[in-house]
Structure 1
Amino acid sequence: MKPCNTLYPLYILLIVLLFTNCASRKGALYFENVQTSEYNGNLQNLEPVIQNNDLLSIVISSSNPAASEYFNTFNISDTRSITATNSITQAVGYLVDQEGNVQLPFLGKLKASGLTKKALNDKIRDELINRKLLIEPVVDIRFLNYKVSVLGEVAHPSVLTVPNEKITLLEALGLAGDLTIYANRDNVLLIREEEGKKKLIRINLTTDELFTSPYYNLKSNDIIYVEPNKAKVQSSGNAKLWLPVVFSGLSVVVIALDRLTN
């Protein structure tokens, strides 16, 4: 005796459930369908502007090492940071206070907030020359707290320190261990603070628009949040827990009906 026609809907339901449970390749790739291309470099001025609470390394040298030594007594700050390897480092340098000033030996308070490194460099150098404290001084300034944060669906969410003061969005994601298979690649959120205002920018990593975007290069204190895709959200719900039970129940029904019709 042939199986009853009532079994066909159950077979179809099982097939549908199997297909809906499979992960889709679409949306799991970077720059999908991107061909060989050439993009002009982003001409945006990437030199960071000094802000309140920045920690700066300021090293002053000249042809007289003994005289220069007096200007290199750093303020020892208790600022600590966690690197990508989870090691804790203590930053030593000059802290820009809430009024935007740095306190330097012999020079006193100098306004730093709102200036680029080059502008502050020239300002310190001019002060040393005008006050006849050093001859032909050389000033080197670096950010000690240049960092970006990567959160969400990445292998290793972390705060990344950037010693060379330059990092792209793709480099930051790479240092965080890359996106997981559950990451939403077409809606990555970049949080950036400029002039006291927070900007929220959505970025699509499945197209080549990123390469011409002004947000391809990150700035200090940028935050990247990678949200989960629909598959991850659904898997965290009760549907994922009940799916094996549904399959087992349907299997029992199919076997029982098949025996009854034979």
Structure 2
Amino acid sequence: MKRPQIVIALQVVFCMCILSSCVSRKEIVYFQGLEQAGERLEMNKDKSLKIKPNDLLTIVVSAPEQAAAMPFNLPVMGMPEKGDSGFSVTGRQQLQTYLVDAEGNIEFPILGTVNVSGLSRQDLQEKLKSEIREYVQEPIVNIRLVNFQVSVLGEVNRPGTFEIRDEYLTLPKALGLAGDLSIYGKRNNVLVMREDQGKKTYKYLDLTDPGIVDSPFYNLQQNDVVYVEPNRAQRQSASYNRNAGVYISIASVLVSLVVLITN
């Protein structure tokens, strides 16, 4: 075999060693054996968020006779906006919010101090309707949590903090908002950090395990932080190293030098 052919052969063998690797399905695929967890998914589906201190709520009360319900609503605020000329003009209107204090209370018109901590949105609706019904016939109460946010950090394609309009948010949905894990993210060691009743708690979850749906951290809560740890291999894809190009270039130079020296 001629020298140039030897060089090419060595380079090809070295490239194959660098690039090739065996990545098992177990390391990559989410929710393996999910067919065995169908019932548990249905059970977790109905979990609702619980109201906590520092939450911001909008509460709107209406009734067939709207004039009777008006005293139970906060005044609507006009939000200033800048026009093309640069002057501030009155723009869209915005509902005022109720801040849940450290004791879990809000100050509600007419009713006074109302404890809301630990209640779901539906529970609070029923509670307020029951109390307002003493003053107003057939009251309708609409409540929304307006500061429901989660942060997704680490080895995802679009890390950031996301505002959630729906009160039902699972870990997979949050990762979807962040563009899913990159190929460098550890799928079996995703950290969820949470603050509950003033205490910080956390849990590492395995996305490849269908039993993840049983974890209380599978359904995310307001202000949760999700962190995806980078894997050791840092693969550019399931079977390619992100530094493969550098290694190949170095290998080519070294092989060429060896051939020149031994020639």
- The TM tier, using the shorter chain, reads 0.7 to 0.9
CA contact (8 A) 1:30 1:207 kept: no
Return 101-110 or 150-159, whichever deviates more: 101-110
1:90-129, CA deviations, whole angstroms, 9 ceiling, x for partnerless residues?
8842121233221222222222223333333233223323
Query: Residue 164 of structure 1 corresponds to which residue in structure 2?
Result: 166
CA distance in 2 between partners of 1:115 and 1:138 (Å): 18
Q: Percent identity?
A: 36
Query: Residue 146 of structure 2 corresponds to which residue in structure 1?
Result: 144
Cα 1:97–1:114, aligned 2, differ >3 Å: closer, same or farther? Answer: same
Which of 118, 121, 140 is matched with 1:117 structurally? 121
Deviation at 1:244, TM superposition (A): 5.7
Query: Residue 66 of structure 2 corresponds to which residue in structure 1?
Result: 65
Gaps spanning 5+ residues in structure 2: where? 80-93, 236-242
Deviation at 1:29, TM superposition (A): 2.2
Deviation at 1:154, TM superposition (A): 1.0
Q: Which amino acid aligns with 2:211?
A: E
Query: Residue 224 of structure 2 corresponds to which residue in structure 1?
Result: 222
Return 99-108 or 145-154, whichever deviates more: 99-108
Query: Residue 50 of structure 1 corresponds to which residue in structure 2?
Result: 51
1:200 aligns with 2:202: yes
CA contact (8 A) 2:57 2:146 kept: yes
Q: Which amino acid aligns with 1:201?
A: K
Query: Residue 87 of structure 1 corresponds to which residue in structure 2?
Result: none
Aligned CA RMSD, in angstroms, stands at 3.6
CA distance in 2 between partners of 1:240 and 1:189 (Å): 29
Cα 1:166–1:35, aligned 2, differ >3 Å: closer, same or farther? Answer: closer
Deviation at 1:49, TM superposition (A): 1.7
Query: Residue 40 of structure 1 corresponds to which residue in structure 2?
Result: 39
CA contact (8 A) 2:37 2:211 kept: no
CA distance in 2 between partners of 1:61 and 1:252 (Å): 82
- 1:99-138 to 2 correspondences below 5 Å: 99-130=103-134, 133-138=135-140
Return 218-227 or 42-51, whichever deviates more: 42-51
1:98 aligns with 2:102: yes
Return 52-61 or 246-255, whichever deviates more: 246-255
TM norm structure 2? 0.73
Gaps spanning 5+ residues in structure 1: where? 79-89, 234-238
CA distance in 2 between partners of 1:129 and 1:2 (Å): 96
TM norm structure 1? 0.73
Query: Residue 181 of structure 1 corresponds to which residue in structure 2?
Result: 183
Give secondary structure in 2 for the equivalent of 1:149. strand
Q: How many residues align?
A: 237
Cα 1:122–1:212, aligned 2, differ >3 Å: closer, same or farther? Answer: closer
Give secondary structure in 1 for the equivalent of 2:38. coil
Q: Which amino acid aligns with 1:178?
A: D
Return 65-74 or 176-185, whichever deviates more: 65-74
